[in-house]
Amino acid sequence: MATATAIELELETAHGAGHDGHDDHGHADHPPTSTGLNSRKMLMWLFLASDCMFFGTLISTYISTRNRSIELGTPPYPNEIFDIPYTSVSAFVLLMSSLTMVLALSAIQRGDNRGLRIWIAATALLGAIFVGGQFFEFTSFAHEGLTLSSNIFGSSFYVLTGFHGAHVTIGVAWLMSLLFVSLRGGLPPEHAADVEIAGLYWHFVDIVWIVIFTLVYLIPYADGPEGAVEAVPEAFLRVLTIGERFLTALPI
C-alpha cells in the first residue's frame, strides 16, 4: 500500500514538472509574433512608413511651388522674412533632443529610474522649446504679412511646418505621459519597449525636420520676380557643391 502511494506521488510530481517545463519552454521559445518581432514595434514602423508618404507629399508640394509666389509677384517672399540663424538654433535644440532620448532608453535598460526621468524630462523640455520657438516664428511671419492665405508660399509653408510642429507636440505629450508613469513606478526595465517605441517616433520627427530645414530654409530662393528663373539652377548648384565637399571630407 505504501509502495503504491509512493509510486502515485512520483507520477504526480513528474507530471507536474513536465507540465511546468512545457509552459516554460513555450514562453521561452515562442515569440510574441510569428516573425519574432514585437507587434507594437511593427505597428510603429508601419505608422512611420505611412507618415513618410504623408510628409513626402507635403514636401513635394512645397518644392513644386516654392518659387511660384516670386514668379507671380505676390509678396512677402521667403528671403524677406526667413531668419536662418534663429531657425538654426531651433533645429539644433530639436536634434539635441534625439541624444537625450537615446540616454533615456539607455537608462531604463540599465534599471536607472532616476536617469530615465531626467532624460525623458529633458527630451520633452527640448521639444517644448522647439514648439515654442516655432510659434514665435509663425507669429513674427504673420506680423510681416505672411499668412496661410497670403500667397502660395505661405499656404505650403504653414501646412508643411505646421504639421511637423503638431507631430512634435504629440511627441512631447507622449513623453510627459511616460514621465508620469515612471514617477508612479510603472516603468521597470521590463517595459523598456515603451520608451523604445516612443524613441522611434521621436527620432523620425527629428529626421523629418532635418529634411524640412534643408529644403525650406537652406536652399536659396530668388530675390524677387526677376530672379525666379535663376533660383532653381542656383539651388541645385549649391546642393551639388555641398555634396561634393561632403564626399571630399570622407576618409576614403
Q: How many domains does the chain have?
A: 2
* pLDDT averaged over every residue in the chain: 81
Residues 126-141, mean pLDDT to the nearest whole number: 96
Residue 84: inside a domain: yes
pLDDT at 221 (0 to 100): 73
Q: Most confidently modeled of 35-49, 188-202, 222-236?
A: 188-202
Are 55 and 82 contained in the same domain? yes
Of 180, 171, 167, 173, the closest CA to residue 199 belongs to 171
pLDDT at 8: 46
**Are 219 and 149 in a shared domain?**
yes
Inside any domain, residue 18: yes
Q: Are residues 12 and 136 in the same domain?
A: no
Q: Is the domain of 4 the same as that of 70?
A: no
In a domain, 35, yes or no: no
Percent of the chain with pLDDT over 90: 56
pLDDT digits (tens, 9 = 90+) for 53-72: 999 999 999 988 887 777 77
Look at residue 71 in the predicted model and tell me its pLDDT: 73
* CB-based burial, 53-68: b 16+ in 10 Å, e otherwise: eebeebbeebbebbbe
List the domain range (segments joined by +) for residue 26: 1-30
The b/e string for 164-202 (b: 16+ C-beta within 10 A; e otherwise) is: bbebbeebbebbbebbeebeeeebeeeebebbbbbbebb
Q: Is 106 exposed, middle or buried (0-12, 13-18, 19+ CB in 10 A)?
A: middle
Residue 36 lies in a domain: no
CA–CA gap between residue 160 and residue 81 (Å, rounded): 17
CA dihedral 201, 65, 82, 227 (to 10 degrees): 150
Is 206 part of any domain? yes
- DSSP-derived secondary structure letter, 67: T
Residue 200 belongs to some domain of the structure: yes
What pLDDT shows up at residue 243? 55
Question: pLDDT, tens digit, for every residue of 17-36?
Answer: 444 444 443 333 344 566 66
176 or 220: which carries more pLDDT confidence? Answer: 176
The predicted pLDDT at position 24 comes to: 41
CATH number of the CATH domain containing 170: 1.20.120.80
108 and 191 both lie in a single domain: yes
Is the Cα dihedral 122, 123, 129, 132 positive or negative? negative
Cβ atoms 220, 141 nearer than 8 A? no
Q: Is the pLDDT of residue 16 over 60?
A: no
For residue 177, being part of any structural domain is answered with yes
- If asked whether residues 26 and 107 sit together in one domain, one would say no
DSSP single-letter state for residue 190: G
Task: For residues 6 and 69, state if they share a domain.
Answer: no
Taken as a whole, the chain contains a residue count of: 252
Q: Burial, 162: exposed, middle or buried (Cβ in 10 Å; 0-12, 13-18, 19+)? A: middle
Q: How far apart are CA 83 and CA 178, in angstroms?
A: 34
